[in-house]
Chain A
């Protein structure tokens, strides 16, 4: 009876290790949503691998009762690329942070995205270095005051999703630690996408950067500051769903929805539209926008493109068709031999 499939619960995906993030850390919620999403999806624990880099978020694999690799700072993407190329059958998840993925691991990230291996990347963005006790990260807005930037950071920050789209990512989405339902839905969509799925998760570091995203996550403000993207639906937001976004050429404009404005005039979200996805990723740094644009959450963009590990397998099969299965004795002998008698 051991092969009878028993439906696993989220708890079955939890390892026996004590979770050691700071009390109140946003990582707890993400861990829980990942565990319950895996149970919902119905993947097997033995076919699932979590690969992480270094940083608070990268302790993640230790808490998962699956296979796991806690790798080197910035290298989760590189290691997972080799693993997935070797083992296309494994359900592979990369857990990384804004420092790990965008700073020390920036190079591997963009190369993974262009190769488009079928893996899921969870980028926990808290706009700070947590594990090293609070220095500004490449996602920290310019002027952030930290221990290493007492007069404000001078570095212009990365826009993570714009960066990923620029690297030809085939799936980009954003979610947050404080909206479990939304996060589970996005994780499931990321898992369904064939290709590299990049999910930026706004995660609160309550010790070193508390409240960095509260304006988007707290009830009092989030209605007017966030925009939930849904494929085929017009861009509507606001506490009373009375605000919309339309495009004036390439410029997004916030409009009040009243008798004079029909929802037919609004921008309708299309996940396959690369140009519009590009505008969505830049909602918070479009200088020409007259009003503050809401922060989009959901799936910005997805496209279907061949995945690297499949192309590798196809090429190996082609080589076998053309040359025949490799024969070691022929390889050892080569084409030109002579005999000494």
Chain B
């Protein structure tokens, strides 16, 4: 058999199978191997809310989409080049995401009568035998049968053997893309430490898959995706939630503060708690509270005690924290509040992504309680932005919102990580002794209107804080009308003053003036960047700006916007940032919205830009 090598710049693979088929693991292993090889990668896991939805059904399909390339990649790919379908339901649920002419790798055992029926193929309909897949290249293999044969003499039960079938597919893909097995073999050794039989079994299946690619005649070509020309540096692969956790540890360390993390488990935020709980050797205190309210209140308590208090949740959990958020704002204590947004309202779409909590973050409290809001735009950007959130919180004595989302949280990309010494210092001003005043006045402010952090244990600083309106400077309870207005204005001005410490808004791609500005925030970054990059190449007068500081907004944003004829605001919601822009700058910004629980494709943004240009 003649083997040909075909060079590809980027490839998008979609692994789809039953939620018990291990597609997330397969995808992340393939990602790590490609990242270590030097490709630029971007990933998008997409799984059902149910842990084990009925086997074989569409509801139970779990997907992992991965885009890797020898060029920069900013998104997990609009459409897949390769679809791995472990059963009929996976094929049915994912086929629309496959490019015309794309390759489908199917597991034949997943297309038996029962699987076809469960996937809703009626009357003996079978996509593998009729002509419905004519537009694609279908590679059939009986993964289940081959895996069982491979481990037949190990004495393992069929149930256990079948759990390894994802590794067979992974082996085949490693062959197809000419990758080494080393990363995954090392993973087996760490994951199954002390269970030699599992290490051997998985190694055997992975290798068998690799050789199957090599020897079987169904593959006529291998693909070559060369390393991407990323800027010089040392890289690692990084997921959003992981970057958030590591960023918190880094911020605490650089601020010389102990980190207290109060959290209640919720999808898709829990992985931050899991990651932090692994790093107790940094002195991290993770506190799994009895509910969302307790989680934030405990964090506020820790913050009063001089720790860096953090609380994390997702939309519905943030709703529960609302009262305590206003409380942290009136106390003027540092607090970082992480919202890994998901589809709403209410329980909504727990495992799907959405950007629909911006208004909640900006305004979702009783009374006048402004809180700074920042948002990362890619998985590794979570590190920089959470670090900023912590800096703002302690340097400005305020709660700060960090708005991530499910797409960023679970996605991954190569990250040129910093060294500890290169991180900007975080200046904490804790008072170490009582002043000359006979009585300490906790709400005296500096020129930025920031009060001091007076921590229990210091003689002479004894004071009381609370949610009742406080008298300016003394902090005593006050019902004085003029004092209330003054305090509301002072707290608001303190937040506005933060804009003096944040960078100007930059233009990401394109000229600094022109016909259209694509103005986004959060996880739409990659799709916008890909779209605008391609349009600029085609000579379209379009630019991209992507905002990380949502409150306060960068000082130059209004001026930047005014230099474009039209402003397009793509968001994964029904139009929230666009309202803010229209409100702040009185411009006729154009909303572009998608509320399907999935990210924009770059194609969608491209078409919209061309449409408004007419």
Q: Which of B283, B299, B461, B464 is within 8 Å of A326, CB to CB?
A: B283
Interface size class of B (residues with CB under 8 A): 35 or more
- Cβ-defined contact, B290 with A72, below 8 A: no
Is A68 located at the chain interface by the 8 A CB criterion?
yes
A333 to B238, CA, bound (A): 10
B598 CB contacts on chain A under 8 angstroms: none
Q: Are B246 and A331 in contact (CB under 8 A)?
A: yes
Instruction: Indicate if A240 sits at the interface (CB-CB under 8 A).
Output: no
Q: Take A44-B459, A46-B458, A326-B279 as given contacts and tell me if A62 and B233 are in contact as well, using a CB distance cutoff of 8 Å.
A: no
A307-330, CB under 8 A of B: which get 1 and which 0?
000001001101110111110110
A116 to chain B minimum Cβ distance, whole angstroms, is 14
A192 to B483, CA, bound (A): 43
The answer to the question of A273 belonging to the interface, with a C-beta cut-off of 8 Å to chain B, is no
- Encoded as 1 (CB less than 8 Å from any A CB) or 0, chain B from 244 to 264 comes to 001001100100001010100
A183→B460 CA distance, assembly (Å) = 29
Chain A residues 63-100 with CB under 8 Å of chain B are 64-72, 75, 78-87, 89-90
Neighbouring A residues of B287 by C-beta, 8 Å: 81-82, 85
Verify B281–A326 contact, CB threshold 8 A: yes
* Residues B188-227 near A (CB distance < 8 A): 227
Q: In the complex, what distance in Å separates the CA atom of A40 from the CA atom of B461?
A: 22
Contacts of B235 in A (CB 8 A): 337-340
**Residue A82 contacts which of B249, B299, B419 (CB distance < 8 angstroms)?**
B299
Is B599 in the interface zone, CB < 8 Å from A? Answer: no
Inter-subunit contact B250/A319 (CB<8 Å): no
CB-CB nearest in chain A for B323:
A72
Contacts A87-B305, A316-B285; A69 near B260 (Cβ below 8 A): no
Q: B457–A90 contact, CB under 8 A?
A: yes
Q: Report A300 CB to chain B, min CB distance, Å.
A: 25
- Whether B309 sits at the interface, judged by CB under 8 Å, is yes
A71 touches B466 (CB 8 A): yes
Inside 8 A of A83's CB, which chain B residues have their CB? 298, 301-302, 304-305
Q: Does A306 contact B (CB under 8 A)?
A: no
Most buried by B among A61, A319, A338: A338
Q: Which residues on the B side are within 8 Å of A80 (C-beta)?
A: 301
Instruction: Please measure, in the bound complex, the distance between the C-alpha atom of A78 and the C-alpha atom of B295, giving whole angstroms.
Output: 8
In the assembly, what is the distance between CA of A243 and CA of B302, in Å?
A: 50
Which positions 303-325 of chain B face chain A at CB distance < 8 Å?
A: 304-307, 309, 323-324
> Which among B36, B183, B459 has the highest number of chain A CB atoms within 10 Å?
B459
Q: A295 in the interface, Cβ–Cβ < 8 Å?
A: no
Residues of A within 8 A of B294 (CB): 75, 78, 81, 107-108, 111
Interface flag for A151 (CB, 8 Å): no
Which chain B positions have C-beta within 8 A of A176?
A: none
Could you say which residues of chain B place their CB within 8 Å of the CB of A72? Answer: 297, 323-324, 327, 467
A45: Cβ under 8 A from any B Cβ: yes
Measured CA separation A17–B459 after assembly (Å): 19
The answer to whether A107 and B291 have CB atoms under 8 Å apart is: yes
A103 to B466, CA, bound (A): 21
Task: For A86, give its contact among B38, B230, B258, B419 (CB under 8 Å).
Answer: B258
- Establish whether residues B231 and A340, one from each chain, have CB atoms under 8 Å apart when the complex forms: yes
Number of A interface residues, CB 8 Å?
59
Q: A72-B297, A82-B260 are in contact. Are A89 and B282 (CB under 8 A)?
A: no
**Residue B493 is within 8 A (CB to CB) of chain A in the complex:** no
Contact of A81 among B37, B234, B298 (CB under 8 A): B298
**Within residues 127 to 180 of chain A, which ones have a CB less than 8 A from any CB in chain B?**
none
A275 CB within 8 Å of chain B: no
Whether B234 contacts A337 by the Cβ 8 Å rule is yes
A4 at the interface (CB under 8 A from B): no
Interface string of B177-190 (1 = CB under 8 A from A): 00000010000000
CB distance from B591 to the nearest CB of A (A): 37
Say yes or no: is B583 at the interface (Cβ < 8 Å to chain A).
no
The total of Cβ contacts below 8 Å across the A-B interface reads 201
Given known A46-B457, A86-B260, contact A78–B289 (CB-CB < 8 A): yes
Check if B232 sits within 8 Å of A340, measured CB to CB. Answer: yes
Contact B419 A332 (CB under 8 A): yes
Q: What is the CA–CA distance of A225 and B399 in the complex, to the nearest angstrom?
A: 52
Q: Closest residue to B422 on the A side, CB-wise?
A: A332
Given contacts A71-B297, A72-B297, A86-B285, contact A46 B459 (CB under 8 A): yes
Instruction: State whether the Cβ of B505 lies closer than 8 Å to any Cβ in chain A.
Output: no
Whole-angstrom distance from the CB of A64 to the nearest CB of chain B?
8
Q: How far is the CB of B469 from chain A (nearest CB, A)?
A: 12
B 441-473 contacts with A by CB, 8 A: 456-468
Contact B456 A46 (CB under 8 A): yes
Q: Does A79 lie within 8 Å of B36, measured CB to CB?
A: no
B477 partner, pick from A62, A69, A81, A337, beta carbons under 8 A: A62
Contact check, A79 vs B462: say whether CB atoms are below 8 A apart: no
Does A291 count as interface, using CB distance less than 8 angstroms? Answer: no
Residues 266-280 (chain A) with a chain B CB within 8 angstroms: none
B347 adjacent to chain A (CB < 8 Å): no
B495 at the interface (CB under 8 A from A): no
Given A82-B299, A85-B260, A336-B237, A331 and B464 contact (CB-CB distance below 8 Å): no
Asked if B464 and A62 make an inter-chain contact with CB atoms under 8 angstroms apart, the answer reads yes
Closest beta carbon of chain B to A275's beta carbon, Å: 27
Determine whether the beta carbon of B456 is less than 8 Å from that of A82: no
Chain A residue nearest to B454 (CB atoms) is: A67
Contacts of A16 in B (CB 8 A): 439
- In the complex, A47 has a CB within 8 A of chain B: yes
Q: Complex formed: what's the CA distance from A78 to B324 in Å?
A: 11
Report the Cα distance A67→B280, complex, angstroms. Answer: 29
Which residues of chain B in 155-171 are interfacial with respect to chain A, using CB atoms and an 8 Å cutoff?
none
**Contact status B466-A62, CB under 8 Å:** yes
With CB as the reference atom, state the residue of chain A lying closest to B280: A319
Are the C-beta atoms of B456 and A85 separated by less than 8 Å? no
What residues of B have a CB within 8 angstroms of the CB of A107 in the complex? 290-291, 294
In contact, A82 and B465 (Cβ under 8 angstroms): no
Residues of A within 8 Å of B281, CB to CB, are 316, 319-320, 322-326
Contacts of A61 in B (CB 8 A): 464, 466
Q: Determine if A89 and B457 form an interchain contact, defined as CB atoms under 8 angstroms apart.
A: yes
- Which residues in window 39-65 of A have CB below 8 A to B? 44-47, 49, 51, 61-62, 64-65
B338 within 8 A of A: no
Partner of B282, one of A64, A322, A331, A336: A331
A86-B300 in contact (CB<8A): no
Q: What residues of chain B lie closer than 8 Å to A86, measured between beta carbons?
A: 258, 260, 285, 301-302, 305-307
Which residues on A are within 8 Å of B, measured CB to CB? 15-17, 44-47, 49, 51, 61-62, 64-72, 75, 78-87, 89-90, 107-108, 111, 312, 315-316, 318-320, 322-326, 328-329, 331-334, 336-341
Chain B residues engaging chain A, CB cutoff 8 angstroms: 32, 35-38, 183, 227, 229-237, 246, 249-250, 253, 258, 260, 262, 279-285, 287, 289-291, 293-294, 297-302, 304-307, 309, 323-324, 327, 417-420, 439, 456-468, 476-477
The 5 A-B residue pairs with the shortest CB-CB distance, nearest first, are A70-B466, A82-B298, A82-B301, A326-B282, A83-B301
Besides A79-B297, A316-B284, 10 new A-B residue pairs in contact (Cβ under 8 A), listed by A number: A46-B462, A62-B466, A71-B297, A79-B301, A81-B298, A87-B302, A87-B305, A339-B235, A340-B38, A340-B232
A-B contact pairs, 27 of them (CB 8 A): A61-B464, A62-B477, A66-B462, A67-B456, A70-B468, A82-B262, A82-B301, A83-B302, A85-B260, A85-B285, A86-B302, A87-B305, A89-B457, A90-B457, A108-B297, A315-B280, A326-B281, A326-B282, A328-B253, A336-B236, A336-B237, A337-B235, A338-B35, A338-B235, A339-B234, A340-B231, A340-B235
